[in-house]
Amino acid sequence: MEVKVKTALVSVSDKTGVVEFVRKLANLGVKIISTGGTAGALTQAGIEVVGIESVTGFPEMMDGRVKTLHPKIHGGLLGLRDKSDHVAAMKKHGIDPIDLVCVNLYPFEQTVAKPGCTLEDAIENIDIGGPSMVRSAAKNHRFVAVVTHPSQYDRVLAEMGKTGGAVSADLRAELARAAFSLTAAYDAAIARYLNDLAGDRFPERLSLAATRAAALRYGENPHQAGACYKFAGAGETSVSSGRLLDGGTPISFNNLLDTNAAFELVKEFDAPAAVVVKHLNPCGCAVDENICEAYRKAYEGDVVSAFGGIVAVNRTVDVELAQTIMESYSRFGKARGASGFFAEVVIAPIFEPEAVEIIRTLKSWGSRVRLIETGPIDRSRIAAGEYDVRCIVGGLLVQQRDLVGWEPEALTYPTKARPTKDQMEDLRIAWLAAKHTKSNTIVLVKNRRVVGVGAGQMNRVESGLIAFKNAGADAQGSVMASDAFFPFPDNVENAAANGVAAIVQPGGSVKDDEVIAAADKHNIAMVFTGKRHFLH
């Protein structure tokens, strides 16, 4: 059923495009009712509007808090046009039907995201009348079209232009679904702000509001559908806030998971750093004063696993770095046993235009690689209050994010040998890499480069054996990190047999004394962090 729009109520906070939208509505013969600042903007543009007070018989009051909460507004929205008693009630009380509502809401999330936002500011930006009108119109979408975003204006106008001023049932239903999603997300944002303010991190009812950013080719596997959603108001530099540059193959579900893993690790370092990730685990990670050298060292950490991996750097990709990445195989990989190289994604704060051209044209695979530009990394904007959410069938597991990094003041030194200054830097890198590697985890670092990783094994000894095998001769003189404590001395004995010079681990095992004694026997320096980094 098509419903011809004769009367529209327009009240928007975001006035983008609203003047042109309403002008075209008016040209189609639609009567325009409006409120406050919106009415002023429309009148100034030469559009004839009926003030809300003329409809309700009441002036706007209480600083605009009360203006649309009135039976003549909500009766006009909620009245069923095919139900005789509704029609009779509307006629008896002088209520005219409203066929279209154009409303967007006070910018609550933008307000609370501003530095120095007070509770009073936040409360004043909780919209009441707007969501009420949106919900009334959406509930009665059989007869009312509800427009809640400027992106919908052109589609509504196009349909009205083709139908002589009517909006189809299908479009009204689609707009209603979008409207209820909007109000649900809006209320979720308010609830979260107030819960955070009260220190209630895990309220009885948890609502998570997110907006679809992209439809994906598929999920983890081709038979699974997938999409990417962003949390509203997230200000942290991240994969979600990044911009996918033109060109490249459409990004996938697994690409985004792996890219997030790579970028979150590279964000841990202030110095130039590069990370290569494959299947959520770092197969390469290095720090250096020169970003090209950091990348080379990261790639050489495991040239075989780097094939088809994710590259993350925390510096600008300039011409030199672009050439270094694209020529990884011929410059460094072939001599070390790689059969080839390409990257699925390269993520960086900035890409110079000339560097993008090199990536796209130097090698055949460059036309397919996805490039994500995040903007400068600002660690002061880490969203400490953001949830880490994992799904189980029928529910969610919710926890605080693991934002603990390297805490020098919390370290203890239980062994006779103490790490050297250079070893301490390698231990720091190993510890941070282990934090971002699936448990059970053993990471080996030498000269600020990850040389061996054992990840995701059912026992820590096996993870260690894999790390030593991958490191080969580079294990000699390396340092070792374990994401959790050693329950037995066996990992220390294996470390000694492979030439490990220093170890960092949480400590806290009932057999710490035996573990420490094993380290002392082999003159291995050990550092306890007091914190573990399980990552399942």
Which residues are designated catalytic?
139, 279
486 with 461: CB under 8 angstroms?
A: no
Decide the pairing of beta strands 479-482 and 442-446. antiparallel
> What's the CA gap between 85 and 81, in Å, rounded?
10
Q: Which of left, alpha, beta for 503 (phi over 0: left; psi -120 to 50: alpha)?
A: beta
Give residue for tokens 């936040």.
122
> What's the CA gap between 245 and 274, in Å, rounded?
20
Residue 223: CB atoms within 10 Å: 7
Q: Which of left, alpha, beta for 233 (phi over 0: left; psi -120 to 50: alpha)?
A: left
- How many Cα atoms within 13 Å fall on the side-chain side of residue 297? 22
Structure-block tokens of residue 456: 């995701």
> What's the CA gap between 468 and 480, in Å, rounded?
10
Structure-block tokens of residue 377: 């990394």
64: amino acid identity, one letter? G
Q: Which of left, alpha, beta for 307 (phi over 0: left; psi -120 to 50: alpha)?
A: beta
Q: Which of left, alpha, beta for 234 (phi over 0: left; psi -120 to 50: alpha)?
A: beta
Structure-block tokens of residue 203: 């309220």
> What's the CA gap between 38 and 50, in Å, rounded?
11
Structure-block tokens of residue 448: 């600020």
> What's the CA gap between 297 and 445, in Å, rounded?
11
Residue 252: CB atoms within 10 Å: 20
> What's the CA gap between 518 and 494, in Å, rounded?
10
Nearest to 470 by CA among 448, 489, 443: 443
> What's the CA gap between 102 and 100, in Å, rounded?
7
Decide the pairing of beta strands 3-4 and 449-454. unpaired
Structure-block tokens of residue 342: 């390409």
Nearest to 433 by CA among 296, 279, 275: 275
CA distances (Å), 530 to each of 485, 507, 535, in order?
Answer: 9, 6, 16
**What is the widest separation between alpha-carbon atoms in the chain?**
96
Give residue for tokens 């050693």.
486
